[in-house]
Amino acid sequence: MDLLHPRNKRMTFNKEDTDYTLYLVTNNELIPSGLDIYGQVEKSLQNGVTLVQLREKELDTGAFIARARKIHELCERYNVPLIINDRVDVALAVDAEGVHVGQDDMDPALVRKMIGPQKIIGLSIRNEEEMWELLKSGADVDYIGIGAVYSTKTKKVNKPQQGPNGVKRILQLISENRPSLKSVIIGGLNKYNITWALRESQFGNKTTDGVAVVSCIMAQHDAGRETLETLDSILVGFQRSNEHVTKKVNNSDSSVVHFITNSVAQQFSANTCIAVGGSPIMSENLNEFDDFTKIPNICLVLNTGTPKLESLTIYQNALKAYNANMRPVIFDPVGCGATEMRRELMRSLLSFGHFTVIKGNLGEIATLAGINGENMRGVDSTLDLDIRSAVDKFSKVAIDLKCVLVITGKTDIVINGILPKEKIEYCYVDGGDPLMANITASGCALGGVIARHVACVPYIDTFAATVMAVSTYKEAAYRAGLKSKGPGTFLANFVDELYSVSTSRNLENTHVTYM
């Protein structure tokens, strides 16, 4: 233990100073095999969790107290308050900083009498009616937990999910009737949707004070990294600087790229992935998907270039596994405007799960956006649209799908829909060489290069990682074109140059132009 760490001091607790930003609720049943609750909680504390609630529905009193005492020691080491779920007796036994009760648990007024005025009391609020009851009762609670925002598998939810609009209505009641009351949101929240939930649930200047999470930390093999990335998303949603985060995942880290791609593209995609430092693996075996998601720094490339009758089931199972384990997914809807079957396949996948990056040529992205979707010749686009005017047409798509959108062509466009700002963030990348158009699967292979970069960075850095990948690809193509006589020599030279550019990681003084 680092005795000089600023948090390694005996905690002096004042409930008025409680930071609700990232509120971890434990669930021992979700912890991966080989790990334990103490390790998961400590990793989360080391990386920015600001409040911990110990939830144990199955332990008897003696075992609960023993566990609570150990968790409390960890929390004190990092100067973070401990809240006990439901059990006032356990909270008193270990001198925890507070108690959280649900609507069917002990009356919060009685809890206050038992634990005194200096401890924290939290109360679950599932709808406006319960919020009104709290306001009328005048119960002395310090914060409320608003949820479930979205559906969740970690706790049986007896009421419909509220969504951001439901949260907004409760925040309005707080703002108008009890503005000093703190709140956190909970239910189905993770690094992919937290930023949006916070921004869309805001009522005027009134926002919630924090986000409570369970599985997106407790169920992860690398709880430390997931804590960092979850905190990043929260702080971006609050539009605050990330003062808690002390480290970032370096893009030079190794990564694994799982390809579900068309047979034409497999070899070239694997070679380009290796050239930029990734480790490719090809599999459409449903039994492997969940195991793959446990690999650190893994990303899925879902390329629909050669769909078969059974493909939708394969795609959906892969998407479900990667979404459930919060791993990034790159979607390449190849030729999605060529036939009605491909259009329907694309629509089914977009409605089924979340994609981190969506990549396609102008015709494919136009089809995805519902713009002139018939203009496809095979997998090529025949859409006549000035690519530099495409940002206005496609930025809403990126924002609606909460993804980074890559539109490829002579000039590539990268649009950031993950972190919407007052002015949309985008980048034009010029470069490359005309011979790229004569190489089969050159577009498909870009998906693997993007995946290799995205797999190693926090979710909120996806845009920057994608721009780096596209720029690397363009620069390698430019250099290969200078020394190639035709498509055959270009193919070999391109892989060599991709390796060279990627190894140097230096795009200064290159022929890639950002506009």
Catalytic residues: 444
3-state DSSP assignment of residue 329:
strand
Please name every residue paired with 357 in a beta bridge, in sequence order, or none if there are none. 330, 404
3-state DSSP assignment of residue 497:
helix
3-state DSSP assignment of residue 462:
helix
CA 199 from centroid of its chain's CA atoms: 15
Q: Which amino acid, 400?
A: D
Q: Which of 158, 210, 203, 209 is nearest to 177 (CA)?
A: 203
Q: Which amino acid, 480?
A: A
372: left (phi over 0), alpha (psi -120 to 50) or beta: left
* Alpha-carbon span 4 to 335, nearest angstrom: 58
* Alpha-carbon span 138 to 116, nearest angstrom: 16
Using an 8 Å Cβ cutoff, are 231 and 242 in contact? yes
What are 142's two structure tokens? 């310090």
Give Cα separations from 199 to 24, 195, 202, 290 (angstroms).
21, 6, 6, 31
Q: Which amino acid, 118?
A: Q
513: left (phi over 0), alpha (psi -120 to 50) or beta: beta
What burial letters (b/e) apply to 443-452, b meaning 16+ CB within 10 Å? bbbbbbbbbb
Which residues, 6 or more positions from 233, have their beta carbon under 8 angstroms from its beta carbon?
191, 192, 194, 195, 459, 460
Q: Which of 416, 503, 403, 498 is nearest to 463 (CA)?
A: 416
Using an 8 Å Cβ cutoff, are 502 and 275 in contact? yes
Q: Cite the beta strand spans of 296-410 per DSSP E.
A: 298-303, 329-332, 357-361, 376-377, 380-381, 404-408
Place of tokens 């144990």: 56
Q: Which of 81, 172, 63 is nearest to 122 (CA)?
A: 81
* Alpha-carbon span 134 to 123, nearest angstrom: 9
CB atoms within 10 A of CB 267: 13
Would you say how long the chain is, in residues? 515
Q: Which of 21, 26, 45, 49 is nearest to 36 (CA)?
A: 26
R_g of the chain, CA atoms, integer Å: 25
